Homo-oligomer: A and B are copies of this chain.
Amino acid sequence: MKISCSQSALQNSVNVVSKAVPGKTPMPILECILLKTENNVLKLTASNMDLGIESIVTDTIVEEEGYVALDAKLFSDMVRNLPADTVYIESDDQFHTTIRCGKAEYKIIGKSGQDFPKLPIVKIDEPVVLSQLTLKNIITQTSFAAAVNEANKMMTGVFMEIHENQMKMVALDGHRISIRVIELKQPYPDHSAVIPGKSLNEIVKNLSSEQQNEAMIYFTENQMIVDIENTTMVVRLIDGEYFNYEQMIRAQFKTKVIINRRELMEGINRATLLVKEGDKKPVIINVTEDKLELMGNSAVGTLKEDIPVVKEGNDLMIGFNPRFLLDALRVIDDEQVTMYLMDAKSPAFFKNDTETYNYIILPVNFLNQR
């Protein structure tokens, strides 16, 4: 292989595919980035088996077609430290590789890319098209609620449902549920899939924050493919039925509280200072006539804080894991949020009127813990 390209284009592609390089892996070849030319185009590929990313290095001049797999960390570090100039990469039959740029010349030993797993990119149906920014938002506004612990594989997934011109994402971990719905520009055939939250969190990093940049999403039986400019990301789906989360949603409530989101967040932050990590102390909320009294206490001390609210219905005292409240409040855009409560043992709902978001959080029994 013999190619030349600009340092900036190469660095860009390296950054993009690096999100799929596994932290640790029993397969040494996956610690590499595969460089491969095809029809005068240089593509970089990385994969951790769950997520594979392929990126075209723009404006590459291919003098001699070929391929080589280079250690991902070393190659990224090198490319990042090269001057902003033309990079020349040459690799022989033994995968001895020379990387030249400016006055610097690296010689390293690569590997054959023969055993590098192929990304099975099959684009059959029409893609779902949406803004990268919109996709980025709906992912970050839901995926945090997916379980991290692998004990229940399905819980580590994010449920995505396309229904007519709506896309819905749902994540849950047994203590809370996040639901977001967005409008698409046109209707699409109904489809649903469970996508690993971990892979989604890597994909998000490659999505643009510009509203006008689009992403195209394709589904096969066991894959989701996200296409953005010069880059294709392939995710292996989680197999099986997602949870019947809809049965956990209820429209009744006995207490409705409208509160300033920022005031509530800041109060919860103050309350959690008293609690050491892993102490699992709840924050207690006492809703009375026109105020919400926030209480935190531990061996270290206590916090009390009154936040004005507009309340309908019963007075109520209820305890929550403060992190779950903060995670949800952080991704809600509204200045005022509405909380729907039933009793001290039933989940709280943060939702807007159109239900484009619905965050459901189970309370904790604070009486034993006080």
Q: How far is the CA of A301 from the CA of B104 in the complex (A)?
A: 13
Whether the Cβ atoms of A109 and B266 lie closer than 8 Å is no
Whether the Cβ atoms of A106 and B303 lie closer than 8 Å is yes
Interface stretch of the complex, out of A76-84, A147-155, A157-165? A76-84
Binary flags per residue of A265-280, CB closer than 8 Å to B gives 1, else 0? 0110110011000000
Binary flags per residue of A94-119, CB closer than 8 Å to B gives 1, else 0? 00000000011111110000000000
Q: Give which listed residue, B77, B78, B269, B302, contacts A106 with CB less than 8 A.
A: B302
Chain B contacts of A367 at CB under 8 A?
Answer: none
Q: How far is the CA of A154 from the CA of B204 in the complex (A)?
A: 52
Please tell me if A248 contacts chain B, counting CB pairs below 8 Å: no
Q: How far is the CA of A307 from the CA of B273 in the complex (A)?
A: 54
Q: How far is the CA of A109 from the CA of B305 in the complex (A)?
A: 18
Q: Give which listed residue, B74, B81, B108, B267, contacts A269 with CB less than 8 A.
A: B81
Please tell me if A304 contacts chain B, counting CB pairs below 8 Å: yes
Chain B contacts of A251 at CB under 8 A?
Answer: none
Whether the Cβ atoms of A78 and B300 lie closer than 8 Å is no
Please tell me if A214 contacts chain B, counting CB pairs below 8 Å: no
Q: How far is the CA of A77 from the CA of B275 in the complex (A)?
A: 12
Whether the Cβ atoms of A273 and B77 lie closer than 8 Å is yes
Q: How far is the CA of A305 from the CA of B83 in the complex (A)?
A: 12
Expressed in whole angstroms, the minimum distance between the Cβ of A94 and any Cβ of chain B is 14
Please tell me if A306 contacts chain B, counting CB pairs below 8 Å: yes
Query: Which residue of chain B is the closest to A302 with respect to CB atoms?
Result: B107
